[in-house]
Chain A
Amino acid sequence: MVAQILFLVLTLAAIALFTVNLRKIIRNIRLGKPVDRKDQPQKRLMTMLRVAFGQSKMVVRPIPAFLHFFVYIGFVIINIEVLEIMIDGLFGTHRIFNGLGGLYNFLIGSFEILAFTVWVSCAIFLVRRNILKLKRFSGVEMKSWPKSDANYILIIEILLMSAFLLMNAADAKLQLLGASHYINAGAFPVSQYLMNILPSSENALVIVERSCWWFHIIGILAFLNYLPYSKHFHILFAFPNTYFSNLEPKGEFTNMASVTNEVKAMLDPSFVPAETEPGKFGAKDVTDLSWVNLMNAYTCTECGRCTSVCPANITGKLLSPRKIMMDTRDRITEVGQNIDKHGAEHQDGKSLLDDYISREEIWACTSCNACVEACPVNIDPLQIIMELRRFAVMEESQAPGSINAMMGNIENNQAPWKYSPADRFNWAQES
């Protein structure tokens, strides 16, 4: 009975804490500017099913896709087991789904195989990061916390799976001993091989089984609450992020409506623009970005596929699309913390541009869309870069000199080079 109450309290506390943190993140995302992403719901749903559920963009790199698939499937399927653990924990039952008979054995057997493949995949992931030191996982932005974060996640997953398998091994051994409470249920294709390393006394086995059971469920609840502080949030946000992702051609950049009004008024003096609130052009800070940009930042799991295909990054420039997303997330988190501590009006004098992302980074972008194409969950770093450029150019007139010259040429000669408009048709004369 004490165990049941303890279980209930722990579960409720974990869910409550997670809800509080999740709501803060949703509030932070809502600090972004509005953008309509509710059109074409059917196409959006299909995109989500294909890209997030179907992992369609992962297959480009077969080895991580294969390993990630095991971890993903393992995560989704083993949650059925968590449901049983929850019911058992609350009502003091043991293996409540046992009534399913042959199906139950099949399920437990599958969970075991999946747990094993998750274990192996995570171990390989650790080797890739820490021993093979794949280039994709290094880079200036992958020092300190992001580096440890990735390792913590993999280690936690390995520990959770180990606990699950050890628990089953102890359970299976207790079943063989005919211990009371441990009914004959389940199939143990993997954990049967672990039985030998376990003690043989019934008491010791019960301690192992119970410890692993508690470790597994407390681990899951703790992991749930680790998510909001971690890059691992993608396991939840991948779904809304792909649903609300851009459906237009990647080459198309948004036309700024605020500018359209001013340009129309300039070209046609009789045009009276509709009253709109005066806003900033482009983005200096995260709150000038759209809520989709901010959701992108929370979704990023720092895999680095974007940076590894970025032509600027490949050739040694400072720009890294992954860093753009991580900076955006770090800054919106900071803005959120400021609101929590000092109220909504607080200004800390910092901004995304300059304090987090430098001018050198934004001007190195070729707008080639390789980062957008590469992202397995449809994150768009390019849009953030463009908004920062818009601020630099339209609010501050701070563009590199040659860019200013190019724009001057367009204004004066209607071409980015200094040629006379009268000579535009000369190509037809020569041959």
Chain B
Amino acid sequence: MAELMAAGEEPEILFWVGCAGSYDERAQKITRDICKILHHVGIKYAVLGTEESCTGDPAKRAGNEFLFQMQAMTNIEVLNAYNIKKIVTGCPHCFNTIKNEYPGLGGTYEVIHHTQLIQDLINEGKLKAEGGESFKGKKITYHDPCYLGRGNGIYEAPRKALEVLDAQLVEMKRCKSNGLCCGAGGAQMFKEPEKGNKDINVERIDEALQTNPQVIAAGCPFCMTMLSDGIKLKDKEQEVKVLDIAEITARANGL
């Protein structure tokens, strides 16, 4: 972003990568695929690079409003300094926080999640599913991330992105507004679960496996971790792939 600014240019959209997308090895792949998609359709985008920092979401959900607002205001200062208007995020948690909780602190932007971007590109005819891996007829089940689905009512965009594949979409019993959490939200990602009789991600994977999928589609780096761990635990890594919608889109287009 700093380079673009120095060249006196403004991006069409800022890609907010997020901490998971920046540091988590698995999520880095998703980040690169989102970049490939942006590049493929010729959108002029920028990232903040080392100037990006945590949105404060996990701190807020853990109850630390101080730390959240410190992060939020620092980020808003950076975003406003670059005159950012539109943001796409690779993470529903970043998406929710910037979209809903930043405006009250002085940061108002048009914020979309990457699955919405993909849906828009498909609707505009700029993105198809051709030239790459064929998902035709494959059984795909989509896991709704809480902060995209229930949190913000976005259920259709990710499904639209999958429909274009001509794959066989199967819904889990608990889906859309009734979707079951992967177990990572509310800062659970960073702690051991409380005493119980099952891990939440295992409960979810059991349900996903009941649909006999070849692919479990995700839209959140935390869900990705939880679902992948579940699949590993069930020893199903060979038969079932857990892929982000961005990865599926990139593969289908041979990017």
A410-B67, A422-B50, A427-B17 are contacts. A368–B186 as well, Cβ < 8 Å? yes
How many Å lie between the Cα of A259 and that of B68 in the bound state?
Answer: 10
For A422, list chain B residues within 8 Å (CB).
50
- In the assembled complex, the CB of B26 is this many whole angstroms from the nearest CB of chain A, namely 11
* Residue B32 at the chain A interface, CB threshold 8 Å: yes
- In the assembled complex, the CB of B245 is this many whole angstroms from the nearest CB of chain A, namely 18
A360-397 interface mask toward B, CB cutoff 8 Å, 1 = contact, 0 = none? 10011111111011100000000000101111111000
- In the assembled complex, the CB of A284 is this many whole angstroms from the nearest CB of chain B, namely 12
Give the residue among A259, A311, A388, A391 with the most B Cβ atoms within 10 A: A311
Contact of A311 among B52, B100, B180 (CB under 8 A): B180
Q: How many residues of A contact B (CB 8 A)?
A: 71
Closest residue to A372 on the B side, CB-wise? B150
Would you call A421 and B200 a contact (CB within 8 A)?
no
How many Å lie between the Cα of A402 and that of B62 in the bound state?
Answer: 11
* Residue B21 at the chain A interface, CB threshold 8 Å: yes
Contact of A415 among B23, B183, B186, B187 (CB under 8 A): B23
* Residue A416 at the chain B interface, CB threshold 8 Å: yes
How many Å lie between the Cα of A226 and that of B126 in the bound state?
Answer: 64
For B185, list chain A residues within 8 Å (CB).
366-368
Would you call A317 and B196 a contact (CB within 8 A)?
yes
* Residue B254 at the chain A interface, CB threshold 8 Å: no
* Residue B157 at the chain A interface, CB threshold 8 Å: no
Would you call A406 and B194 a contact (CB within 8 A)?
no
How many Å lie between the Cα of A364 and that of B181 in the bound state?
Answer: 13
* Residue B197 at the chain A interface, CB threshold 8 Å: yes
Q: Which of B31-48 contact A (CB under 8 A)?
A: 31-32, 35, 47
How many Å lie between the Cα of A60 and that of B178 in the bound state?
Answer: 9
- In the assembled complex, the CB of A377 is this many whole angstroms from the nearest CB of chain B, namely 16
For B199, list chain A residues within 8 Å (CB).
315
* Residue A405 at the chain B interface, CB threshold 8 Å: yes
For B151, list chain A residues within 8 Å (CB).
249-252, 369
- In the assembled complex, the CB of A188 is this many whole angstroms from the nearest CB of chain B, namely 44
* Residue B80 at the chain A interface, CB threshold 8 Å: no
* Residue B84 at the chain A interface, CB threshold 8 Å: no
A408-426 interface mask toward B, CB cutoff 8 Å, 1 = contact, 0 = none? 0011001111010111111
Contact of B70 among A256, A263, A419 (CB under 8 A): A263
How many Å lie between the Cα of A367 and that of B94 in the bound state?
Answer: 15
For B32, list chain A residues within 8 Å (CB).
427-428, 431
Would you call A430 and B49 a contact (CB within 8 A)?
no
A255-269 interface mask toward B, CB cutoff 8 Å, 1 = contact, 0 = none? 110011011101100
Contact of A393 among B62, B71, B186 (CB under 8 A): B62
A252-B101, A319-B194, A363-B191 are contacts. A259–B66 as well, Cβ < 8 Å? yes
Closest residue to A362 on the B side, CB-wise? B63
How many Å lie between the Cα of A266 and that of B184 in the bound state?
Answer: 31
Would you call B195 and A419 a contact (CB within 8 A)?
no
* Residue B132 at the chain A interface, CB threshold 8 Å: no
* Residue A17 at the chain B interface, CB threshold 8 Å: no
Closest residue to B181 on the A side, CB-wise? A368
- In the assembled complex, the CB of A318 is this many whole angstroms from the nearest CB of chain B, namely 7
* Residue B89 at the chain A interface, CB threshold 8 Å: no
For B190, list chain A residues within 8 Å (CB).
402-403, 405-406, 416
Closest residue to B104 on the A side, CB-wise? A255
How many Å lie between the Cα of A410 and that of B31 in the bound state?
Answer: 21
Closest residue to B147 on the A side, CB-wise? A251
Q: Which of A30-54 contact B (CB under 8 A)?
A: none
B89-115 interface mask toward A, CB cutoff 8 Å, 1 = contact, 0 = none? 000000010001100110000000000
* Residue B123 at the chain A interface, CB threshold 8 Å: no
How many Å lie between the Cα of A428 and that of B32 in the bound state?
Answer: 7
Would you call A415 and B19 a contact (CB within 8 A)?
yes
Contact of A315 among B65, B69, B100, B200 (CB under 8 A): B200
A60-B178, A399-B62, A425-B49 are contacts. A369–B71 as well, Cβ < 8 Å? no
For B66, list chain A residues within 8 Å (CB).
259, 262-263, 394
Would you call B65 and A366 a contact (CB within 8 A)?
no
- In the assembled complex, the CB of B46 is this many whole angstroms from the nearest CB of chain A, namely 12
B135-169 interface mask toward A, CB cutoff 8 Å, 1 = contact, 0 = none? 00000000000110011110000000000000000
Closest residue to B52 on the A side, CB-wise? A424
Would you call B23 and A419 a contact (CB within 8 A)?
yes
* Residue A137 at the chain B interface, CB threshold 8 Å: no
Closest residue to A359 on the B side, CB-wise? B194
Would you call B153 and A249 a contact (CB within 8 A)?
yes
Would you call A363 and B17 a contact (CB within 8 A)?
no
* Residue A314 at the chain B interface, CB threshold 8 Å: yes
How many Å lie between the Cα of A428 and that of B188 in the bound state?
Answer: 28
Contact of B203 among A314, A414, A430 (CB under 8 A): A314
* Residue B54 at the chain A interface, CB threshold 8 Å: yes
- In the assembled complex, the CB of B29 is this many whole angstroms from the nearest CB of chain A, namely 9
For B181, list chain A residues within 8 Å (CB).
311, 366, 368, 370
- In the assembled complex, the CB of B16 is this many whole angstroms from the nearest CB of chain A, namely 12
For A370, list chain B residues within 8 Å (CB).
146, 150, 178-181
Would you call B63 and A389 a contact (CB within 8 A)?
yes
Would you call B22 and A255 a contact (CB within 8 A)?
no
How many Å lie between the Cα of A386 and that of B101 in the bound state?
Answer: 15
How many Å lie between the Cα of A213 and that of B189 in the bound state?
Answer: 61
For A316, list chain B residues within 8 Å (CB).
195-198
For A263, list chain B residues within 8 Å (CB).
66, 69-70, 73
* Residue B56 at the chain A interface, CB threshold 8 Å: yes
* Residue B61 at the chain A interface, CB threshold 8 Å: yes
* Residue B60 at the chain A interface, CB threshold 8 Å: yes
For A369, list chain B residues within 8 Å (CB).
146, 150-151
- In the assembled complex, the CB of B30 is this many whole angstroms from the nearest CB of chain A, namely 10
3 shortest A-B CB distances, which residue pairs?
Answer: A251-B151, A367-B186, A389-B63
Would you list 9 pairs from A and B whose C-beta atoms are within 8 A, ordered by A residue?
A: A250-B151, A251-B152, A263-B69, A316-B195, A363-B191, A367-B186, A394-B65, A406-B187, A421-B53
Given contact pairs A314-B200, A316-B196, A389-B62, a sample of 19 additional A-B residue pairs in the complex whose CB atoms are under 8 Å apart: A248-B100, A251-B146, A259-B65, A264-B73, A309-B180, A312-B200, A367-B61, A368-B186, A372-B150, A388-B63, A394-B63, A407-B59, A407-B67, A410-B59, A417-B19, A424-B23, A425-B49, A427-B28, A431-B32
